[in-house]
Structures are given as C-alpha cells and as structure tokens.
Amino acid sequence: MDVWDAQTYGSRWHEIYDGLPWPEPTAAVDFLAKLAADGPALELAIGTGRVAIPLVQRGVEVHGLDTSPEMVAQLRAKDGGADIPVRTADIAAFTVEGEYALAFLVLNTLYALQTQEEQLSCFRSVAAALCPGGHFVVEAFMPDPTRFRRNSWTQVHQVGLDHVLIEADQHDPSTQRILEQHIHFRQGKAELFPAFLRYTWPSEMDLMARLAGLEPIERFGGWAGEPFTAQSGNVVSVFRRPES
C-alpha cells in the first residue's frame, strides 16, 4: 500500500491503539462537558472512544463519525461503547441530520486530512452541523519545523533485549506534510505503523474557521486552560458558530 487514504490509519493502528500511552482524557472531558451544555455533541474521528466514552459517562449525549470499521469495533466492545451512535463518514466532507451544540476533533486528527482543501472542507461541514452559538473544539500539536534537519528526523523511542521502536519522519515545509513511520522490530520481524499528516498553523486554522463562517473565540496551551504561548506544545482552539 503506497497511498494514504482515510481508512489507512485505522487499518494499521487499531490492534495496538488502546495500548499506546495517550494522555489521560479527564481534563479534555471536563473542558468538553462544559461546552456541550445540553448537547448533543459530535466527535469527528471518534476512534475507539478514548474521549467519547468518559464524556457519555459525564452525562453528555455523544454521536461519532469515523472511517475505520476496525477502530469502531474496538469502541463497540467497550462498556458503554455499543450505545454511542457512530456513522461511517469521512470528516473531510460530511453532512448530519439535526444540529449539534458541540463538535470536537482531538488528538491531532485535523492533521489526518492531507490537504488544506480537505481541512477547510471539514470546517465547512462542522459549521453546517452546529446550532447557532454552537462550539467547535480542535486539539492538535503545535507544529515545530525546527526538529527536522534537512527535512528529516529519526528518534529511538524504545530499546529492549528483543525489540526496538524507531520513528523515521520526512517533512515537506512547502505542503506542511509530515510522513511518519514508526518501525517496530520484534520477534525477528519489522512492523510498520505509518501516520501521514498535514499540520496547520493556529493562524491558518483561524482563517479556515472564518472562511467557513465560524468565529475563533479562545485558544489554550492545553485542556486545563493553560495559556497558549510560544512554548506551547499543544493547541486547544475553540470556534463558535455566530448566533445569527
């Protein structure tokens, strides 16, 4: 498989996804629950329900979209996961019935959309899915082109007696794309876990939101409301559909 498409992430990562050291979701759930008000809320790229399930347990009605049947099967197998309405849809362009008080797209997944056109189209789809006054929250890493030398980067993440985990990335600053490969050598073989992405600057995100008819209203450096500064590694952005 040489071409990345909207199903690739789930088909490659679903078996190991829930075992990865993702951030604990409580602060994200607190943040999102406040904005969801009386709901309902829509998670774009819901995955295995890392955030959606605890948000439902907080009393918020959550619906989800995802392209990966494998990731959604993991969600379905969890307590409370079978009851969350999830539709197979590409977040690059989707329509929904009804209107949502909150839409959210977390853990860098806006960057899973490989072009600016797809990302803008996602903002437009969200704008049409929100009720007047409804919010859209996007969480992503802050791009850091300085980590690349000659547009590439390698890092050894783990070394054990019988395994090693190495990451090898290529960067194209002209398209803002990063091709990541996570290479796991174990039991005498190499497994590849790719993540191809297009990062977006916060200012570009604001412009995409405005073009889609949303207002940028707040930006933080993390889910606990940390100030967003030049040192922030993470960006939590809040957009709103105007009341009229």
Ligand X SMILES: C[S@@+](CC[C@H](N)C(=O)[O-])C[C@H]1O[C@@H](n2cnc3c(N)ncnc32)[C@H](O)[C@@H]1O
Span near ligand X by CB under 6 A; candidates 86-94, 95-103, 153-161, 219-227: 86-94
Directed axis angle between helix 202-211 and helix 116-129, to 10°?
Answer: 50
Q: How far is the CB of 3 from ligand X (least distance, A)?
A: 14
Q: Which is nearer to ligand X, 56 or 71 (CB)?
A: 71
Strand pairing partners for 159? 164
Q: Verify binding: residue 223, ligand X, rule CB under 6 A.
A: no
Contact between 32 and ligand X (CB under 6 A)?
no
Q: Are 136 and 214 in contact (CB under 8 A)?
A: yes
For residue 92, state whether it binds ligand X (rule: CB under 6 A): yes
Q: Is 9 in the site for ligand X (CB under 6 A)?
A: yes
- Distance in Å, CB of 132 to ligand X, minimum: 25
With CB under 6 A as the contact rule, the residue among 32, 46, 60, 137 that binds ligand X is 46
Closest CB to ligand X among residues 77, 151: 77
**Per-residue x/- mask for ligand X, residues 55 to 74, rule CB under 6 A?**
----------xxxx--x---
3-state secondary structure string across the chain: CCCCCCCHHHHHHCCCHHHCCCCCCHHHHHHHHHHHCCCCEEEECCCCCCCHHHHHHCCCCEEEEECCHHHHHHHHCCCCCCCCCEEECCCCCCCCCCCEEEEEECCCHHHHCCCHHHHHHHHHHHHHHEEEEEEEEEEEECCCHHHCECCEEEEEEEECCCEEEEEEEEEECCCCEEEEEEEEEECCEEEEEEEEEECCCHHHHHHHHHHCCCEEEEEECCCCCCECCCCCCEEEEEEECCCC
Which residue's CB is nearer to ligand X, number 51 or number 214? 51
Q: Residue from 12, 31, 41, 47 that binds ligand X (CB under 6 A)? A: 47
Burial environment of residue 149 by CB neighbours within 10 A (0 to 12, 13 to 18, 19 or more): exposed
107 binds ligand X (CB under 6 A): yes
Member of 50, 198, 240, 241 binding ligand X (CB under 6 A): 50
Is the CB of 118 or the CB of 204 nearer to ligand X?
118
CB of residue 24 vs ligand X: minimum separation in angstroms? 12
Nearer to ligand X, 40 or 164 (CB): 40
Measured from the CB atom, is 91 or 235 closer to ligand X?
A: 91
Question: What are the residues binding ligand X (CB under 6 A)?
Answer: 6, 9-10, 45-47, 50-51, 65-68, 71, 90-92, 106-107, 109, 112-113
